[in-house]
A = this chain, B = another copy of it.
Amino acid sequence: MTAQQLFWFIPLASILALGFAFYFFRKMRKESEGTDTMKTIARHVRKGAMAYLKQQYKIVTIVFVVLAAFFALLAYGFGVQNTWVPFAFITGGFFSGLAGFIGMKTATYASARTANAAQYSLNRGLKVAFRSGAVMGLVVVGLGLLDISLWYLLLDTFVEEATAAEKLIIITTTMLTFGMGASTQALFARVGGGIYTKAADVGADLVGKVEAGIPEDDPRNPATIADNVGDNVGDVAGMGADLYESYCGSILATAALGAAAFMAYPELQLKAVFAPMLIAATGIVLSIIGIFLVRTHEGANMKKLLAALGRGVNTSSVLIAAATFGILYALGLENWIGLSLSVISGLAAGIIIGQTTEYYTSHSYKPTQRIARSAETGPATVIISGIGTGMVSTAIPVLTIGAAIVMAYLFAINFDVAHIMSAQNLSIGLYGIGIAAVGMLSTLGITLATDAYGPIADNAGGNAEMSGLDKEVRKRTDALDALGNTTAATGKGFAIGSAALTALALLASYIEEIKIGIARLDTQAANFFAATGKPVKEATIPDFMEYFQINLMNPKVLVGMFTGAMMAFLFCGLTMNAVGRAAQNMVEEVRRQFREIKGILTGQATPDYARCVAISTRGAQREMLFPSLLAIAAPVLMGVIFGVAGVMGLLVGGLAAGFVLAVFMANAGGAWDNAKKYIEEGNLGGKGSDNHKATVVGDTVGDPFKDTSGPSLNILIKLMSMVSIVMAGLTVAFSIL
């Protein structure tokens, strides 16, 4: 088959994904939602979640309109930007939001149904929850590839360039800019949702559990509905938008790198562009197969459940590794074996990072047990050892990503170590790194299902508790929830690892955008290259590095790097403070209700749930704006002052520090959570003991670590790259130093 023929497999796979998502959704809707109380609670949560999302989309729409107008001005007014950018930006944002919306809609329908199904058996509960999670997984990959295919077809029809090779470069770099729309949407979703969920969670815990002494998810707690809403808006809608962005970003960046790397080989170029899309498309099919493999016998225990999930995910991973060789061979890429091994480097790195995350955050292992034991000397030592463990836990993931980068590069250049840094090898090696990121995310359909399944199970537990279902049922939903925590660790490994690799690929794509910008806008630079006997379009990455002096002794680069590293911390600090403030408001409201509405604690009066939901919503909306706009503004300002060198410094500094910080925050948060659970399981004095109280402090601190600041960093890293890519024309046309 020709590459053009193979292309049709991509939209086909995306439609397949959407079809199965619809099928799973319909099947879930047919399940019973249980008793009237269960329905009412589910409706409360659904209403709260939708109200939040409506409010969120309102604000995000304003931001999008302003930014799109600004891009239109740059494109049509000043001519410093590709004319497709405003449209690409908007569709990226729209589809990213849509993925989150559908995922959340599904999750809020599924939770009561999962609780109801759990009344029959653990297996039935698992099936409802997991297949509902799969809706989200498949919607994300389906919409992602659909958007990519449609844009490709559109641009292929309308873009006119002298040569086919140049046309493909314009197409791929233009498509890349829709990533910024997805990133912007994702950042708002993650930050807003993250603040919402943790403000509600922390607020509910602090007054409910600690002060009033009532259990989690108790209907007497006014913040309990808000807490359940939070799981949906943060962990489902936020994560959906986030991973939509990662998925598209890695595919698009790799396609752009492929177009650039193989520009001199027209017979290979198109294949290199299609390769990441085809790997992703195949991943969809294999994910669907994997999803169907997740089933177990009635009466299966926890271990068997985990095995069932593992079977699905692992089968998909093994199959995609094998299939990659087939795809790249069928495409007729010269070094198909090497590039396939690059893909496997990425996959392997994702798995190793996931395993490491599990080691450092599961209470089956020493690190988390040590944190639990440090509770014997009070909350302070719980915090110290959690932070210490989190920081130490960054070592293996970072070294793994480092190894994956080097291996993906070396495989892609066929171990041509003697010319390891030649211009041609550099381009192909970077393409190898990009395709490793695609490999890591290729099975997103199923890994995201295991991730999205978590909050559904969590909400099912909440519903069961609040509707007063049997202890046995609650035990089952707890088991489902615990399972979700374990798979979430692996999911986080993939999310963080792929963000780092994708950001690297985006960095390389930035150079391509600058190249195009110079060819169009900067006569001085264009003349310089012409004088060297090499027109801009033929200039290599090392040529640009030299021209802009993007080296480590350039003070512009260094200042950029300092600023980038600082941005990661500043952003985290702002979101941490936002959660603190929003939680404080929630605490005050819950205390007020306990004080003013008589009979709440005895169960004679119903608390005012809606007001807590409204407070979380307002808090999240108010708090998300500044950090998000800062993330967008920073690369623009850096470009205007320090030019390309400063921007590259900013991106690399932000990437290096942000990646390590994100791993630290995710792992410290996870470890604190499970240290608490370890004690709750009856160790070291069990629930209610002083040790337990000390670990509750750790868990509360860990909440914004792992669910607000940490995951938002993944997006920050990529968004800053995306903004730089979109703004490349402006940076080329104007900078002070």
Residues from chain B with a CB closer than 8 A to the CB of A579 are: 384
Check B391 against A573 for contact (C-beta < 8 Å): yes
Q: Which of A151-179 contact B (CB under 8 A)?
A: none
Of A580, A697, A700, chain B has the most CB atoms within 10 Å of the CB of: A580
**A480 in contact (CB, < 8 A):** no
| A595 → B minimal CB distance (Å) | 15
Give bound CA distance, A472 to B579, whole Å. Answer: 44
Give bound CA distance, A385 to B700, whole Å. Answer: 12
Known: A383-B697, A552-B550, A558-B405. A566 touches B394 (CB 8 A): yes
Interface hit among A17-25, A124-132, A241-249, A647-655: A647-655
Check A572 against B391 for contact (C-beta < 8 Å): yes
Known: A395-B566, A511-B553, A553-B511. A559 touches B421 (CB 8 A): no
Q: Mark A382-401, 1 if CB is under 8 A from B, else 0.
A: 01110111111111001101
Residues from chain B with a CB closer than 8 A to the CB of A545 are: 549, 551-553
**A210 in contact (CB, < 8 A):** yes
Q: Mark A594-633, 1 if CB is under 8 A from B, else 0.
A: 0000000000000000000000000000000000000000
Check A555 against B405 for contact (C-beta < 8 Å): yes
Give bound CA distance, A426 to B573, whole Å. Answer: 35
**A282 in contact (CB, < 8 A):** no
Check A391 against B562 for contact (C-beta < 8 Å): no
**A689 in contact (CB, < 8 A):** no
**A460 in contact (CB, < 8 A):** no
Q: Which of A630-666 contact B (CB under 8 A)?
A: 648-649, 652-653, 656-657, 659-661, 664
Check A378 against B206 for contact (C-beta < 8 Å): yes
Residues from chain B with a CB closer than 8 A to the CB of A335 are: none
Residues from chain B with a CB closer than 8 A to the CB of A553 are: 426, 430, 507-508, 511, 541-542, 545, 550
Residues from chain B with a CB closer than 8 A to the CB of A660 are: 562, 565-566, 568-569, 657
| A722 → B minimal CB distance (Å) | 17
| A451 → B minimal CB distance (Å) | 25
Give bound CA distance, A291 to B398, whole Å. Answer: 48
Check A542 against B551 for contact (C-beta < 8 Å): yes
Give bound CA distance, A394 to B574, whole Å. Answer: 11
Residues from chain B with a CB closer than 8 A to the CB of A508 are: 553
Check A421 against B549 for contact (C-beta < 8 Å): yes
Q: Mark A532-554, 1 if CB is under 8 A from B, else 0.
A: 00000000011001100111111
Check B656 against A562 for contact (C-beta < 8 Å): yes
Residues from chain B with a CB closer than 8 A to the CB of A426 are: 553-554
Residues from chain B with a CB closer than 8 A to the CB of A377 are: 206, 583-584, 587
Check B656 against A580 for contact (C-beta < 8 Å): no
Check B559 against A552 for contact (C-beta < 8 Å): no
**A374 in contact (CB, < 8 A):** yes
**A570 in contact (CB, < 8 A):** yes
Tell me which of B379, B569, B704 contacts A394 (CB under 8 A). B569
Of A421, A561, A573, chain B has the most CB atoms within 10 Å of the CB of: A573
Check A552 against B648 for contact (C-beta < 8 Å): yes
Check B398 against A206 for contact (C-beta < 8 Å): no
Check A388 against B737 for contact (C-beta < 8 Å): no
Tell me which of B379, B507, B737 contacts A417 (CB under 8 A). B737
Check A399 against B541 for contact (C-beta < 8 Å): no
Check B210 against A401 for contact (C-beta < 8 Å): no
Check A656 against B565 for contact (C-beta < 8 Å): yes
Check A374 against B555 for contact (C-beta < 8 Å): no
Residues from chain B with a CB closer than 8 A to the CB of A664 are: 569
**In the complex, which residue of chain B has the Cβ closest to the Cβ of A648?**
B552
Check A580 against B374 for contact (C-beta < 8 Å): yes
Residues from chain B with a CB closer than 8 A to the CB of A656 are: 561-562, 564-565, 653, 656-657
Check B737 against A574 for contact (C-beta < 8 Å): no
Residues from chain B with a CB closer than 8 A to the CB of A576 are: 384-385, 387-388, 391
Check B701 against A398 for contact (C-beta < 8 Å): no
Tell me which of B206, B405, B504 contacts A381 (CB under 8 A). B206
Check A402 against B652 for contact (C-beta < 8 Å): no
Q: Which of A165-215 contact B (CB under 8 A)?
A: 202, 206, 210
Q: Enumerate 15 A-B pairs (CB-CB under 8 Å) in ascending A order.
A: A206-B378, A381-B584, A389-B573, A402-B559, A421-B549, A426-B553, A433-B555, A508-B553, A545-B551, A552-B552, A552-B652, A558-B652, A568-B660, A656-B656, A697-B697
* Nearest 6 Cβ contacts at the A-B interface: A391-B573, A388-B576, A380-B700, A388-B577, A545-B551, A392-B573
